[in-house]
């Protein structure tokens, strides 16, 4: 019986090959060819750094993807809207974020980081020296403790090297920072990210009174992208800083018709003077810059 069953199976296989063998082989070769071409193209195409200023309303949320696939989130906005935005940028099966930075403990920057911590595994968390005393700040601290991630208080001179050409340098705060616990903006973690000839400057809500502390050997004399400090407040993006960095793009992350009047006309005037182009999440939704080290491309939602 067993021999008969084996003979029948062999005959069935022969009939299948006779009927469909050539089609099957052609299909396999076609798929293999497509895979080879895509592999060649992927290696030939310049690897890009993706920097997305997420449209989360009035607040900050920046998602960064390096050429080798590392992820970093800087602030999370005022709600869980950041989850939808981040998920649209990541693979469905990718539940890991390498680095999270909470620039300072204001609700419009850290609230969205709480649901991110519940949905994703985070490798390292970088915080401001000020932890804050609000309910939201306390809730974030609890989730950070539960994450069992590496937690580090940001200090000037710290370096995050992703190993693929993308390097983040912490420019502020300094080790001898002395500010009141209530002055959370004054302790905003500020950093410059470099990739090849291009750079991205992110200063949280740092006011003009402290922007002078960003200068040094690391900050380029011109930057590719500058996120306007404090959502375009008149108390940030001062002339001293802007005349030095002269950004190619100035990005404003703010909510439409927000109660603070961001971006402020005075700040817009300064940004217009020293920037080549101003682009806002109010008008364009999520804004993604693709940098290959020498040139920039832009994708927007609207």
Please give the Cα distance from 280 to 12 (Å, whole number): 65
Q: Are residues 154 and 270 in the same domain?
A: yes
Q: Does 111 score more than 50 pLDDT?
A: yes
Instruction: Write the pLDDT tens digit of every residue in 36-73.
Output: 544 444 444 569 999 999 999 999 999 999 999 999 99
In Å, what is the CA distance from 86 to each residue of 65, 136, 284? 11, 21, 17
Q: Are residues 143 and 21 in the same domain?
A: no
Please give the Cα distance from 266 to 272 (Å, whole number): 10
Domain region containing 8: 1-45
Please give the Cα distance from 229 to 205 (Å, whole number): 5
DSSP state of 262: P
**Which position has the higher pLDDT, 7 or 246?**
246
Q: How many domains does the chain have?
A: 2
Q: Are residues 90 and 23 in the same domain?
A: no
pLDDT at 43: 45
Q: Does 168 score more than 60 pLDDT?
A: yes
Residue whose structure tokens are 């069953």: 5
Q: Are residues 126 and 274 in the same domain?
A: yes
Q: Are residues 205 and 82 in the same domain?
A: yes
pLDDT band at 35 (very low <50, low <70, confident <90, very high): very low
Computed over every residue of the chain, the mean pLDDT equals 90
Closest CA to 248 of 300, 200, 192: 200
Segment 74-102 shows an average pLDDT of: 96
């Amino acid at each position: 019986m067993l021999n008969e069953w084996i003979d029948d199976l062999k005959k069935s296989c022969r009939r299948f090959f006779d009927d469909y063998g050539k089609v099957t082989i052609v299909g396999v070769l076609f798929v293999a060819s497509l895979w080879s071409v895509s592999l060649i193209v992927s290696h030939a195409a310049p690897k890009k750094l993706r920097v997305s200023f997420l449209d989360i309303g009035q607040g900050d949320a920046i998602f960064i993807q390096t050429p080798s696939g590392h992820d970093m989130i800087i602030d999370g906005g005022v709600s869980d809207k950041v989850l939808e935005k981040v998920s649209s940028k990541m693979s469905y099966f990718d539940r890991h974020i390498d680095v999270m930075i909470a620039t300072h403990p204001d609700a419009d920057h850290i609230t969205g980081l709480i649901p991110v911590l519940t949905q994703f595994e985070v490798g390292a968390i970088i915080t401001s020296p000020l932890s804050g005393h609000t309910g939201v700040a306390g809730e974030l601290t609890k989730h950070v403790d539960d994450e069992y991630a590496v937690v580090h208080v940001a200090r000037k001179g710290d370096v995050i090297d992703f190993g693929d050409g993308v390097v983040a340098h912490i420019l502020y705060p300094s080790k001898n920072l002395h500010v009141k616990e209530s002055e959370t903006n004054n302790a905003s973690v500020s950093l410059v990210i470099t990739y090849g000839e291009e750079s991205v400057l992110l200063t949280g809500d740092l006011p003009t009174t402290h922007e002078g502390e960003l200068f040094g050997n690391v900050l380029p004399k011109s930057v590719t992208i500058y996120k306007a400090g404090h959502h375009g407040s008149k108390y940030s993006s001062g002339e001293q800083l802007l005349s030095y960095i002269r950004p190619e793009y100035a990005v404003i992350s703010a909510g439409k018709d927000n109660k603070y009047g961001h971006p402020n006309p005075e700040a817009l005037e300064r940004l217009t003077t020293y920037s080549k182009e101003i682009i806002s999440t109010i008008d364009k939704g999520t804004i993604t810059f693709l940098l290959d080290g020498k040139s920039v491309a832009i994708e927007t939602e609207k």
